Every structure is written in structure tokens, then in C-alpha cells.
Amino acid sequence: MTLTMNPPTLALKEIPRAPRRIRAANALVESLKREGVTHIFGMPGGASLPIYDAFYDFPEIKHLLMRHEQSAIHAAAGFARASGRAGFCTATSGPGATNLVTGLADAILDSTPVVAVTGQIVTTWIGKDGFQEADIIGITLPVTKHNWLVMNADEISATIHDAFYTATRGRQGPVLVDIPRDVLQKEIDFDADALFPTPRYQPPRHADMQMLARAADAIGKSKRPLLYVGGGAISSDAWREVRTLAEKTRVPVTTTLMGKGAFPESHPQSVGMLGMHGTAYANYAMHETDLIIAVGARFDDRVTGKLAAFAPHAKVIHIDVDAAEIHKNRKADFPLLGDAKTVLADLIPLVAAPETEAWWKQINEWRAKYPLRHHQAGDVIKPQFAIDVLYQMTKAQNPIVTVDVGQHQMWAAQFFKSEEPRTFITSGGLGTMGYSLPAALGAQCARPDRLVLGICGDGCFQMTMQALITAVEEKMPLKIFIINNGSLGMVRQWQELFYKERYHSVHLTNPDFAQVAKAFGAVGLSVSRSAEIEAVYRRALAVKDGPVVVDVHCDPTENCFPMIPSGTTIHDMVIEDPRYGESGRRTPDAGRRTAGL
């Protein structure tokens, strides 16, 4: 008998490559590459030096040297929010790691997928108060989905895989991996082709079919339904399904601050953002609705106000991937636990369109009576006008907009309409001042093909303005617009309205931001007259080879309306500033003094 052997070349293909002997730090960076990391935002230090030494061998992964670790994690968040992929940042031990905490807290509240890797002091000194030691695992436990302290170098690659899986599955969020310096320096056998077991964390996808049928029946029988869409619809890539459901049922759509872009705001069925500074007609619709269809939203206090009085006539369909959110703030009559995209895809074929003609008649009356508008007159620039002009000049390019926190954030949410997901990026849950500039930098890395605009407050800009030098080094064509009213505007507004104008620690002595930008090597422009604003904006938008900062000097007394004061009800809503006389419209109880923040 003659035996026929396989050709040697075929046999060789079936033999896996033998593991290589490499440093654990190099295995870490190879693992990052395997997970698809293209950009790293970080700042080196003693405990993370082995990682940076390994970065030297991987020039294909772009490292951006930030000037503060908080900016690094905000940049990673901006990258994640603009791209839909996990952002990555790194820091050293001690203060480097603790400087990430604000960004981790921001990301956990806004469900932003970020992976942070920190260096730790050597294992023999852990627990002995060694130089730059901090228990970053204990510190970040409340503000991460999960964290790991890797004491075994052989576990680095599998841990990195678990970290990216955990950050991006289910309700997305930040994770942290802490690795001691001596662990990073060990030699290990590394197998680039190793397969990892499926992680035990398996978030739900499909909702209960009987509950789906009941929810569909409730939609068909409702008279005043309202789609209430949050950031979870963007995280799960469910915006197409949201639009399909809305158009099939002719249901009006309101979005949260985090949900902007999940449904086109120019669409006739959009009633805009709801909540404390949302449109009056969105808030009236929410108050009068008989059925809330909540998609990836969490009924937070900035939306509900006084929870006991919120949407008093409504039953609730609540679609969410996180079981902890369902029933947390508002009881769900039809809980649909699962991935929003999958649940909506299952729900849409079951739904019949309700009769909404009378409901739309009422909504359109509210829309006509209480439109969003601003009162620009004279030379002094109104901040709403400054943002509206920027929107009108750039809307054809559909830019990505990153926004800081405060009055300008709410004006941007009102006047800068979002047509696509991942184009309006801001700090929602934590309300982190200083978020916009580094987030814009991260967004530009994720989408180099898009115009990126950063809208900042003058107080916010000063918190992370050192990130501008990174944008200069990388020749990023960011356009940063500072809404400069010489104060911490939202705090000043609250002191005016609820603390008898007892202003304290709220007015700012600002530098000349245009000159600051020039000192950093960016283009700096300034405008203080309304007639000149378009020309200055055009100059800024024409710059293509580096960042531009535009210092927009605005009316320091302007307040942000509509406004439902914290913890109150729709009956306390102030629709327009009463200083505008006959043109200002308010509800009967408008202007009533309420408790503070």
C-alpha cells in the first residue's frame, strides 16, 4: 500500500506559529493593536515608562501627548462618541491615574466606552506607601464598569481583550486596567494568534416577546403617544429603527441632550430637546402624553423635574439594555429589556399606527405659540445669536460639535440642530466643565474628514486649554468658539433668579483668549460687535492647517430660557426672559421663586 502525504506547504499552514518571547509591555501594545486601537491619548511617567518604550516599536499607532490626564480621557471619550469605537488613554501611577477619575465618572454617567491603562508602582512596594502609589482600583471602582489589577504578566493580553469587550457591550462605559511596572518588564511567551474564551458578561439583546406584543398594542391604542429618545439609541446604532418606528406610527419625537442626532431635528416629527432648558412644546407634549415610548433614556432629573408630577397621564414603554434603569426613576408598564436596535427591529412589524391627528394639531399649536427664538438688537452680541449664526454658516457641512457645560451648552442644544448621530458631543450626566476642547481633539482624530467645532464657555475653556498645544502640534483644523460672557454664566443665572442677585465668586477676569491662542501657536481671533461676527467666523472657517480660537464677547446679563427650575414642574416653566416685555411669553406661574440647585 502506498501512503499519499499532504504537500509540505499545506502541512505547514496547519501548524500554528510558536509563541514569541517578548516583554509584557510589548505584548500589551500588540494586544491594543489587535483590538483595533489607532489613537492613544496619554502622558508618560515613571510607572508607565515600559509601555512608552513599547510604543516606540509601534509607530502605526498614533500617540497624542496631552498636557493633563483629564484631557487625555476626555479626548478618548470624544474619539469614542464620534466613531462608535472604544477610545483609549493611558496614564502613570499616583496623580497620573487619579487625574483620570473625573473623566471616568463622566464616561460612566454618559455610557461612553473608554479603556484606560495605568502604570502602577512595583509589586514589592504596593501597600507600603511607595512613591506615587495610589489604590486606583479602589478609587475607580464606583466610576467604571469593571477594573483589573494585573499581577501576572501572562494575563495581560486576555485582560485587554476583556476590557474592550466589557467597555463596548451592553450599556457601554469606561474600564480601567492597572499594571505594575515590574509586571510590564517581565519576559513572557506571547501568542499573537491566541483565541480568548467568550467572556461571561453577555448582555441581553431580545426583549420578551409577550411584552413586545403588549407594547405594540399599547402604541396602536394610544391617543397622545411620544417617543422619548436618549443616548442609548445612539450607542446601540438604533437611529434608523427610531426613524422607521416614528414615521410608521406618526408619533412625535423628543430627544434628550445625549440623544441629539438620534432623530433628525429638522424632521417635521421632531419636537426638539425636552427638559430643564428644552423646548416649551416638547415639555408640554411630555406633560400631556398618554404613552411614553422611552428608547435608551433614563428619566433623569434634568428631564423629569419633580418626578412625582412628571407625565402624570402616561403609561411607559421603556426599552433599555441595562436592567438597573428600568423602574429606577419611573415605573415601566411595558419593560423591554434588551439592545435598543434589536428590540425596535422586533417591535416595528408588530405596531399599527395610532390616530394622532388631534394630537398633532395640539402640538403644532404649541410650536407656533412658543417657538425658540432670540432677541438680537444692537451691537452687543447675544450668545444665542452667536451660536445660531455659527449653525447657519456650517449646517451644510453637517459638522461634529463638541460642547462644554453651562448656559452655552443649553443654547447650543437649542439652536444647533443635529441631523445625524455622533455629531453632538457633550458632557451630560456629570456636567464636566472643560470637556469640549479635548473632546473636539479626540473627535477630530476619529473623523479627520469632518469639520469639528468646539463650543466652549470662558470658564470651561480655562480648565483644559492646555490641550490646545496638542492640537497645534498635530496641525488639527479644530475651530474653537468661546462664548465669553465674563462669568460662570449658569451659576450667575441661578444666583440672579433664586438667590436674590447675591453674586459671589461668579464673575471672571479673563485673559485675552485670542492672544492666548496665538501664544500657543494657534490662530486667535476676537469679535465683540454683532455686525462683524459673520466675517470673523468666515476667517476662522477658512483656516485648514491648524486650530483656530474665536473669542466671542457676549452680553454678560443674558439668561437661558425656556427653563424649568430644578425640582419643580411644568407649571413653573419660564418660556422667555420677562425683560423682553410684550415679546416675552410665560406660563401663569412663571417667575415664581423656587429652591436652589
Q: CA-CA distances (angstroms) from residue 133 to 153, 159, 193, 381?
A: 20, 22, 35, 49
- Residue 577: the pLDDT is 82
The fold of the 14-190 domain, in CATH, is: Rossmann fold (3.40.50)
- Residue 197: the pLDDT is 84
Q: What is the mean pLDDT of residues 408-421?
A: 97
Is 378 in contact with 530 (CB distance < 8 Å)?
Answer: yes
CATH code for the domain defined by 383-553: 3.40.50.970
Q: How many CB atoms lie within 10 A of CB 479?
A: 23
- Residue 441: the pLDDT is 98
- Residue 591: the pLDDT is 38
Q: CA-CA distances (angstroms) from residue 78 to 121, 230, 261, 339, 438?
A: 29, 18, 15, 23, 7
Confidence of residue 193 (pLDDT cuts 50, 70, 90): confident
Domain covering 209-369 assigned CATH 3.40.605.10 in the classification: no
Burial call 91-129: b when 16+ CB within 10 Å, e when fewer:
bbbbebbbbbbbbbbbbbbbbbbbbbbbbbbbeebbeee
Tell me, what DSSP letter sits at residue 194? P
Q: Which grid cell sits at 4?
A: 499519499
Lowest mean pLDDT among 103-112, 276-285, 514-523, 586-595: 586-595
- Residue 18: the pLDDT is 67
Is 589 in contact with 574 (CB distance < 8 Å)?
Answer: no
**DSSP secondary structure, 31-85, as one string:** HHHHTT--EEEE---GGGHHHHHHHTT-TTSEEEE-SSHHHHHHHHHHHHHHHSS
**Domain coordinates in residue numbering, the chain:** 14-190, 209-369, 383-553
**Sign of the dihedral through C-alpha 285, 288, 291, 297:** positive
Is 275 in contact with 560 (CB distance < 8 Å)?
Answer: no
Torsions phi, psi for 177 (to 5 deg)? -120, 120
Confidence of residue 143 (pLDDT cuts 50, 70, 90): very high
Burial class for 153, CB neighbours closer than 10 Å (0-12, 13-18, 19+)? buried
Is 155 in contact with 27 (CB distance < 8 Å)?
Answer: no
What distance in Å separates the CA atoms of residue 212 and residue 345, rounded to the nearest whole number? 11
Lowest mean pLDDT among 211-220, 456-465, 494-503, 573-582: 573-582
Q: Which grid cell sits at 527?
A: 469679535
E strand or H helix that includes residue 365 = helix 357-369
Is 548 in contact with 538 (CB distance < 8 Å)?
Answer: no
Query: What's the length of the chain?
Result: 597
Q: Is 371 helix (H, G, I), strand (E, B) or coil?
A: coil
Residue among 230, 369, 239 at smallest CA distance from 302: 230
Q: Is 424 helix (H, G, I), strand (E, B) or coil?
A: strand
Residue 206: pLDDT above 50?
yes
Distance from first CA to last CA of the chain, Å, rounded?
A: 90
Give the tens place of pLDDT for each residue, 338-356.
999 999 999 999 999 999 9
Work out whether strand 20-23 and strand 187-190 pair parallel, antiparallel, or are unpaired.
Answer: antiparallel
Q: What is the mean pLDDT of residues 495-510?
A: 95
- Residue 581: the pLDDT is 53
Lowest mean pLDDT among 57-61, 268-272, 549-553, 586-590: 586-590
**DSSP secondary structure, 94-128, as one string:** THHHHTTHHHHHHHHHTT--EEEEEEE--GGGTTT
**DSSP secondary structure, 487-550, as one string:** B-HHHHHHHHHHSTT---S-B-----HHHHHHHHTSEEEEE--GGGHHHHHHHHHH--SS-EEE
Torsions phi, psi for 36 (to 5 deg)? 90, 15
Confidence of residue 194 (pLDDT cuts 50, 70, 90): confident
Task: Tell me the Cα Rg of the chain.
Answer: 26
Torsions phi, psi for 189 (to 5 deg)? -85, 120
- Mean pLDDT over the full length of the chain: 93
Select the more confidently predicted residue: 1 or 366. 366
Residue among 331, 335, 307 at smallest CA distance from 321: 335
Q: Which grid cell sits at 267?
A: 424632521
Is 450 in contact with 419 (CB distance < 8 Å)?
Answer: no
pLDDT exceeding 90 applies to what percent of the chain? 90
Is 249 in contact with 217 (CB distance < 8 Å)?
Answer: no
What interhelical angle do 489-498 and 407-415 show, nearest 10? 100
Residue 592: pLDDT above 50?
no
Is 397 in contact with 424 (CB distance < 8 Å)?
Answer: no
- Residue 76: the pLDDT is 98
Q: CA-CA distances (angstroms) from residue 161 to 29, 36, 177, 279, 545?
A: 12, 11, 11, 43, 37
pTM here is 0.93
Lowest mean pLDDT among 78-82, 213-217, 406-410, 580-584: 580-584
Q: What is the mean pLDDT of residues 423-441?
A: 98
Q: Which grid cell sits at 383?
A: 450668545
Shared fold status for 209-369 and 383-553? yes
- Residue 9: the pLDDT is 37
- Residue 16: the pLDDT is 55
E strand or H helix that includes residue 30 = helix 24-34
